[in-house]
Amino acid sequence: MWIDTHCHLDAAEFGDDRPDVAARALRKGVSWIVIPAVDIHNFDTVRTLANSQPNCTYALGIHPMYVPQSDVADLAALRTLIPEALQDPRFVAIGEIGLDFFLPALCVEPMRQKQEHFYSEQLKIARDFDLPVLLHVRHSQDLILKYLRRITVRGGIAHAFNGSLQQAQIFIDLGFKLGLGGAMTYTRALQIRRLAATLPLEALVLETDAPDLAPSWLHPGRNSPEQIPAIGAILAELRAMTPADVARATSDNAAAALPRLPALR
């Protein structure tokens, strides 16, 4: 069994192909796909999609790249929606939330402040409902960690992790798993491959971030959750393990990071 802990199956790139994409992944052994929301306008979409496919779950949150077009009232709306979402066994986390200081438009004031406000308020929602979070940490690991020290949540996943060994260890110490995906398949990605080979296995989960972050053999094509076993095979190679052992370990790690997943097995 494999788990794709981060896949935007609702993205326009998938179009009417979504059911086939999920089915192909299931045939490849991808038992669960986690679909994170990106803003309040796609909450219903990810919920409906997750409940229409046998191997899909979802998270609700406001992505930092969607903060510019979001209103602070959306945070209150998210909080209001959580009690109802908790009645849905397909709902597993708050996400995708976090900070992005890669795109220039997101780095200027007051947009940095707005990002930080949305991030901290969503951490509080996760804390108050005892839910894990799916974290977007692009060029923002240290500030992400600063808020995690202030606002204690039950852990979750640092999606598409590409930080330092020291930052990785702090995330682990705070109860987080680290998401590895297509970037790990490129031989030039020395830092990520080094982390994949040396970090504790119990800290690692697999993801695609589909349709983005395609592995080397698909670049620049559309990524898909059916690629998880092949991505996992790269992790197995880097760690001198069998793919079956990697599948078992990373799936157990995903279930630990997202405690609502095991009930769906």
What is the per-residue pLDDT across 247-257, written as a single tens digit (0 to 9) for each?
Answer: 999 999 999 99
Res 238: pLDDT: 98
Res 71: pLDDT: 97
DSSP label at residue 61: -
Cα–Cα distance for residue pair 152/155, rounded to 1 Å: 8
Q: What is the mean pLDDT of residues 41-60?
A: 97
What tokens were used for 180?
């590895």
Three-state DSSP state, 108: coil
Domains of the chain, with CATH numbers?
Answer: 2-264 (3.20.20.140)
The residue type found at 188 is: R
**Model confidence at 262: pLDDT above 90:** no
Q: Please name the residue ranges forming H helices in the chain.
A: 18-27, 43-52, 72-85, 104-107, 111-128, 141-150, 165-173, 190-198, 228-239, 243-257
pLDDT digits (tens, 9 = 90+) for 71-125: 999 999 999 999 999 999 999 999 999 999 999 999 999 999 999 999 999 999 9
Longest CA–CA separation in the chain, Å: 49
What tokens were used for 56?
């899909």
Res 121: pLDDT: 98
| Cβ count within 10 A of residue 192 | 20
What tokens were used for 33?
């796909």
What is the C-alpha radius of gyration for the chain, rounded to an integer number of angstroms? 17
For 148-184, letters b (16+ CB in 10 Å) and e give: beebebbbbbbbbbbbeeebbebbbeeebbbbbbbbb
pLDDT digits (tens, 9 = 90+) for 3-43: 999 999 999 999 999 999 999 999 999 999 999 999 999 99
CA quadruple 9, 10, 13, 19: dihedral sign: positive
Res 263: pLDDT: 61
pTM exceeds 0.95: yes
Cα–Cα distance for residue pair 239/139, rounded to 1 Å: 27
CA atoms within 13 A on the CB side of 261: 26
Q: What is the mean pLDDT of residues 135-154?
A: 97
Res 203: pLDDT: 98
